[in-house]
Amino acid sequence: MLTHPNEFDVVDLDPYGAPSVFLDSAVQSVADGGILMCTATDMAVLCAANGEVCYSKYGSYPLRGKYCHEMALRILLASIESHANRYKRYIVPVLSVQMDFYVRVFVRIYTSASDVKNTPLKLSYVYQCIGCDSFHLQTVGRTVSKDKSVRCLPGFGPAVPQECSDCGKKFNMGGPIWSAPIHDQEWVAAMLANVKSMKERYPAYERISAVLTTVSEELPDIPLFLSLHNLCATLKCTSPSAVIFRSAVINAGYRISGTHVNPLGLKTDAPMNVIWDIMRCWVRNHPVKAQPSDQSGSVILAKEPVLQANFARAVASLSQAQAKKVARFLPNPERNWGPKLRAGRQITSKHVSLLGPKALNAMSNHEIGEGSNHENGDGSNHENGDGSNHEDAEEPAAKRKKTEESDS
């Protein structure tokens, strides 16, 4: 790629594991306005199981939150942007998806020394409370306009006080992540219409249309998302249905949508104090057992809600796809659905205990037939992406030898 700068209209990076070492040459080889597609399967690294490894590879610190898979997407985008910036180039994401056990982004790459200066406006640090998982974003840069000229300055900070204003605990800081839109909604709508008009040409039609449908309904300007179950776990209360919660947010005057990353995730522009007020009102009608007073949930519930939540069902509380009963998330295609083994990898007792002998037999037969492919199926699984991905790529030679010896 380094010998062909600015040459290719489309470059597809799909390595087994981290693409980070290829990004520098890839961003140089794409023609102006061309597309770079990039897959990362090292979800354990990107989703905070090894935060320091993520920092060394991608230059961002991941956080453990229910939104970690979307954060993985945004860390990858921030990393591509930083590589592009070194060559006076910048990215415009057209589609970014987290599926199965990997993230995949499609970005256009343009060259412009003046537009590169806007990068700090598209990046944010994330503060996440260690007690109640509330999160707050702080952009790296801001703009000031003076005499018709616009200048970039460092962002105002800190975005949060020393202690969480909801529960009193401290914050972890992660990022910087890409906090600008991760999809080009016009492009997604056109692609969805295109796919629908040629259904029979796409063997994975149902999967593609389900993902594009959920993507098209996401709020484009809201990074990361809340998990209703996570909020309820903090308060130790029963969960309102998604429709009731969405209605309360809409009735309070804010926007809310789902996310393609997690069927239970909710994107909203409502600030955290409004979210907690809605939950306080919910708990008032659905009381919880008394908890120790130092727990985050008890501290939050001890405050009186400022806002009186209205749980009356709002018209927009169902997404359009839900209302039309269009599939948004598909079930997994088989039992024990997980990442396949790396090509040419020797099967060890570790794999047998993790995957079961039946799955391995099926896998080895498949390899003989078609060669192995680590992402050759359809289906969706949103919970076990992180942690379940073995980092075979980084295994030292000595360790590998040891496993082989003990096996023979």
CB of 132 to Zn ion, least distance (A): 3
| Residue 7 near residue 29, CB atoms below 8 Å | yes
Is the Cβ of residue 128 or residue 259 nearer to Zn ion in the bound state? 128
Alpha-helical regions (H) of 60-176: 68-85, 113-116
Sole binder of Zn ion in the list 46, 94, 103, 129 (CB under 5 A): 129
Q: Which stretch binds Zn ion (CB under 5 A): 21-29, 145-153, 156-164, 220-228?
A: 156-164
Q: Which stretch binds Zn ion (CB under 5 A): 53-61, 131-139, 142-150, 257-265?
A: 131-139
Q: How would DSSP label each residue in 12-41?
A: EE--SS--HHHHHHHHHHEEEEEEEEEEE-
| Residue 66 near residue 265, CB atoms below 8 Å | yes
Sole binder of Zn ion in the list 167, 235, 279, 341 (CB under 5 A): 167
CB of 135 to Zn ion, least distance (A): 10
Q: Which stretch binds Zn ion (CB under 5 A): 56-64, 127-135, 203-211, 372-380?
A: 127-135
231 is a site residue for Zn ion (CB under 5 A): no
Judged by CB under 5 A, the number of residues near Zn ion is 7
**185-197 helix and 205-216 helix, angle to the nearest 10 degrees:** 150
Is the Cβ of residue 166 or residue 218 nearer to Zn ion in the bound state? 166
| Residue 196 near residue 223, CB atoms below 8 Å | no
Q: In which residue are the tokens 């056990």 written?
A: 101
At 126, is the secondary structure helix, strand, or coil? strand
Is the Cβ of residue 100 or residue 133 nearer to Zn ion in the bound state? 133
Rounded CA-CA distance 337/315 in Å is: 37
User: What tokens were used for 295?
Assistant: 């727990």
Is the Cβ of residue 140 or residue 301 nearer to Zn ion in the bound state? 301
CB of 299 to Zn ion, least distance (A): 8
272 is a site residue for Zn ion (CB under 5 A): no
| Residue 96 near residue 73, CB atoms below 8 Å | yes
Sole binder of Zn ion in the list 51, 131, 297, 385 (CB under 5 A): 131
CB of 162 to Zn ion, least distance (A): 12
Is the Cβ of residue 61 or residue 171 nearer to Zn ion in the bound state? 171
Is the Cβ of residue 92 or residue 173 nearer to Zn ion in the bound state? 173
Q: Which stretch binds Zn ion (CB under 5 A): 126-134, 143-151, 221-229, 241-249?
A: 126-134
Q: Which stretch binds Zn ion (CB under 5 A): 10-18, 165-173, 209-217, 227-235?
A: 165-173
Is the Cβ of residue 23 or residue 129 nearer to Zn ion in the bound state? 129
256 is a site residue for Zn ion (CB under 5 A): no
| Residue 110 near residue 32, CB atoms below 8 Å | yes
CB of 94 to Zn ion, least distance (A): 35
261 is a site residue for Zn ion (CB under 5 A): no
Is the Cβ of residue 27 or residue 231 nearer to Zn ion in the bound state? 231
Secondary-structure percent of the chain, ordered helix, strand, coil, rounded to 5: 40, 20, 40
Q: Which stretch binds Zn ion (CB under 5 A): 81-89, 121-129, 195-203, 287-295?
A: 121-129
For 381, residues 6+ apart whose C-beta sits below 8 A from its C-beta are 100, 101, 332, 337
In angstroms, the Cα distances linking 292 to 164, 167, 193, 299 are 18, 13, 54, 9
297 is a site residue for Zn ion (CB under 5 A): no
166 is a site residue for Zn ion (CB under 5 A): yes
Is the Cβ of residue 107 or residue 164 nearer to Zn ion in the bound state? 164
CB of 169 to Zn ion, least distance (A): 5
Q: Which of 25, 29, 39, 24 is nearest to 8 (CA)?
A: 29
Q: Which of 224, 281, 225, 232 is nearest to 252 (CA)?
A: 281
Is the Cβ of residue 101 or residue 225 nearer to Zn ion in the bound state? 225
Alpha-helical regions (H) of 167-271: 185-197, 205-216, 228-235, 242-251
Largest Cα–Cα distance in the chain? 76
Sole binder of Zn ion in the list 36, 132, 307, 309 (CB under 5 A): 132
Task: Give the type of residue at 274.
Answer: V
164 is a site residue for Zn ion (CB under 5 A): yes
Q: Which residues pair with 126 in a beta bridge?
A: 137, 174
Is the Cβ of residue 109 or residue 164 nearer to Zn ion in the bound state? 164
User: What tokens were used for 90?
Assistant: 């910048």
User: What tokens were used for 406?
Assistant: 């003990």
Q: Point out which residues bind Zn ion (CB under 5 A).
A: 129, 131-132, 134, 164, 166-167
